[in-house]
Structure 1
Amino acid sequence: MSATATRIETVMQNLAERNLSQMLVCDPRSIQYLTGAYVEPGERFLGLILAKGAEPMLVLNELFTAPDDCTCTVRPYSDTDDPLALVAELCDADEALGCDKNLAARFLIPLMERGAAARFVLASDAVDDARALKDEAERAAMRAASHTNDAAMARFRELVHEGVTESEVAGQLEGIYRDLGAQGHSFTPIVSFGANAADPHHEPDNTRLAPGDVVLFDVGCRQDEYCADMTRTFFFGEPTNQQREVYETVRRANEAARALVKPGVRFCDLDRAARAVIEEAGYGPYFTHRLGHQIGLDVHEPGDVSATHNAPVEPGMCFSIEPGIYLPGNFGVRIEDLVLVTEEGCEVLNSYPRELTVL
């Protein structure tokens, strides 16, 4: 059985556990995961219909083409056709229809008005749960993407010199990724100098690097469709005592959470382990976000590493460990790695050093 056929079978089992026999998948990355076909439809409708005992059907505008090895039947429509009529035809009106979170209201409401299904149920978790458990090919892809990210970070730091702006540095990153064999960014890179690093999602601007600044890179590439994500914080010049203290606290928090990862440990326990280190050092109020997120075909996938996620981690899950301390108007530090859960523990996908580094 092919990888995509196995994935569809898993999703159908997940649907059955939710008393559903059919689903409409509209998330382009989920469709890619299940069929091998990746399409960005823009404003046009794109949907994969999964139904018990039936061939998967991809409703696709004829402007786009599916690859030859796409493991589904394509039902094309033109710009003058009504794709929702085709969806209604392919669905069982007497059964509930599972829908994913990407089904836009402009499509969902007309389907409801047409009576395309007995009822409509949010069923994204049937696919999300399958995607969370990476198979061997996906694990290899995640390793490769992170290996490239490690190599790229070694080159990114060489771009840093006094007077350079965040934007000037950020503008050179994609070329380095492509030179290393990646497809490009997995998300818009974060390059932060000095006080800007206290904003966890700072967008690179014209701030110039000055002696004494921290330099934060939160970056990732997409390679063979899978995403990498890593953060490292450097110092441009000798750090102050407080900067050293904050950095070492974040490094220890990262280490404490990584050391705890193994099947059966809850996501909230990982968050707690990192947060406890930061709280003990007196910086608890300055760790302002969850510990991490799952990752794969999308850089952020459902199932966060947070205080409210009580589910246990399972082999095949891949997620970030990224504690941080952010002192407004002063500086911030974040250290992020990806971990892949194994049968007995975890594999840390990033090997780039975490020791305090002065540029």
Structure 2
Amino acid sequence: MQKIEALSTWLKEQNIQGAFVTSTANVYYLTGFRCFPHERLLGVFVFPDKEPVLICPGMEVLQAKNAGWKHEILGFSDTDNPWEMISEAISGRGISSVESIAVEKEHLSYHRGMQLLNLFPNASLVSVEHELNAMRLVKSKDEISILREAARLADFGIETGIAAIGRGVTELELVATVEYALKKKGAAEMSFSTTILAGEKSAMPHGNPGLKEIQPGDFVLFDLGVVVDGYCSDITRTVAYQSASEKQKEIYEVVKKAQQASLDLSKPGTRVGDLDLAARRVIEEAGYGDYFPHRIGHGLGLDVHEHPSMNEKNNEKLVEGMVYTIEPGIYLPDVGGVRIEDDVYITESGHECLTQFTKELVIVN
């Protein structure tokens, strides 16, 4: 439980009496137990010098033990008051004077924050997000191995979707084909709702697949990812069906060049914001700056969108072990959109693209 120990050390250094971590991703990161409790309470209490305690629905206790959690588990039924159980567990550890508690301020609800302060009326709530983000930023070799497998399955999903394109096939049919094939390969869940958009709909960066039928000359944009052992992949590829106009070919090549400009800078020591600026400069010089409305990418790991935000104002530096996406795009309302996205791992001297499906313009016949 090195991660628990690292968080305990930070609490001690900051003179914080405890941390209450409640998001599924961070509970999994700290404990190895992955749980989606719906409206029920899930959390792990970590202390500077006391045994941690996990609280979860009683029906999940066996899974928590099987996940390797060796410390106390508070399993509650739907008629129990979990906060009373928490109070008893903390009192049993001899903890009485609490001045501050670290929580995920962006996740903890107001109601649960009030319940926590009812237990510790004199305590203030401080943020633990920065420390957890810093811990999760650099991936271990084991984490990279899992992310590499998630990326491999994402490549397979793109390959499957492209092979299923045909005249009259709908966006949702393609979604169903891709997800069915991935589940047969062992992908238990997707990182997010699979996005497959055709024709003018591909010009919507976050459009919703529907019953739009694929037609000759359409761009078809695939954005998908899978979860492997809790870790996410995220890939986007754009192809053309039967033919591509000169305008379509032009914007495709601009996006590919923009992505390469960011990839060329992907190495330790580069300022994060420079990756965004490098791609944006290519797109702006081609005359399409107004049609690239989002950042270059985002961190990737237990959450499909996690720290850092890869935007032009981010002054953080790339370090070995980081994993993030690079995904420039151009979206023309009357033509369609192109986005090319890869999962990038920073190595000792450069980078590795975990997703490897071809980035040459594919024209499906």
- TM-score, structure 1 length as denominator? 0.94
Deviations 1:183-241 (A, max 9, x none): 23111011000110110011101111111110100011112222111000001122111
1:292 is aligned to: 297
* Superimposed CA distance per residue, residues 38-76 of structure 1 (whole angstroms, 9 cap, x where no aligned partner): 111111111100101111110122132213312432122
Aligned ranges 1:23-62 → 2 under 5 Å:
23-62=19-58
In the alignment, what sits opposite 2:102? 98
Q: 2:135 maps to what in 1?
A: 130
Counterparts of 2:70 and 2:280 in 1: how far apart (Å)?
44
Q: Report what 1:246 is aligned to.
A: 251
Query: Which residue type is aligned with residue 84 of structure 2?
Result: A
Stretches of structure 2 that go unaligned for 5 or more consecutive residues are none
Mean alpha-carbon deviation: is it higher for 75-84 or for 328-337?
75-84
Q: Call closer, same or farther: CA 1:355–1:145 in 2, change over 3 Å.
A: same
Query: 2:232 touches 2:300 (CA, 8 Å); kept in 1?
Result: yes
| More deviation, 12-21/107-116 | 12-21
Would you say 1:160 and 2:165 are equivalent positions?
Answer: yes
* 1:78-117 equivalence runs, <5 A: 78-89=77-88, 90=90, 93-100=97-104, 101-115=106-120
In structure 1, how many angstroms separate the alpha carbons of the residues matched to 2:130 and 2:360? 38
How far apart, CA to CA, are the structure 2 residues paired with 1:283 and 1:38?
43
Asked if residue 357 in structure 1 is aligned to residue 362 in structure 2, the reply is: yes
Inter-partner Cα distance in structure 1 for 2:241 and 2:315? 40
Conserved? CA contact 1:35–1:72, under 8 Å: no
User: In 2, distance between residues paired with 1:225 and 1:30?
Assistant: 11
Determine if the alignment matches structure 1 residue 345 to structure 2 residue 350. Answer: yes
What is the aligned counterpart of 2:185 among 180, 185, 192? 180
User: Aligned residues, how many?
Assistant: 355
Kindly tell me: are residues 161 and 240 of structure 1, through their superposed partners in 2, closer, same or farther at Cα, counting changes over 3 Å?
same
> Partners in 2 of 1:340 and 1:13 — Cα distance?
28
Q: Distance in 2 between matches of 1:275 and 1:16?
A: 43
What is the Cα deviation at residue 88 of structure 1?
A: 4.0
Q: CA deviation at 1:346?
A: 1.1
Q: Name the structure 1 match of 2:65.
A: 67
Deviation at 1:82, TM superposition (A): 2.0
TM-score, normalised relative to structure 2: 0.93
Mapped partners of 2:33, 2:201: distance in 1: 40
Q: Could you report, residue by residue, the CA deviation over 1:133-163 in whole angstroms, capped at 9, with x for unpaired residues?
A: 1111100000111112112221211110011
Q: Is the 8 A contact 2:283 2:292 kept in 1?
A: yes
Q: Distance in 1 between matches of 2:301 and 2:103?
A: 21
Q: For the structure 1 residues 117 and 34, does the alpha-carbon distance in structure 2 shift closer, same or farther, using more than 3 Å as the test?
A: farther
Which residue number in structure 1 is paired with residue 146 of structure 2?
141
Native 8 Å contact 2:98 2:120 kept in 1: no
Say if 1:183 and 1:224, in contact at 8 Å, map to a contact too: no
Query: What SS does the corresponding residue of 2:361 show, helix, strand or coil?
Result: coil
- Aligned amino acid, residue 251 of structure 1: K
SS class of match (2:98) = coil
Give, in whole Å, the separation in 1 of the partners of 2:121 and 2:327: 44
How far apart are 1:13 and its partner, in Å?
3.9
The share of aligned pairs that are identical, in percent, is 36
CA RMSD in angstroms comes to 1.6
CA gap 1:17/1:280 in 2 versus in 1, 3 angstroms: farther
CA distance in 2, matches of 1:314, 1:72: 33
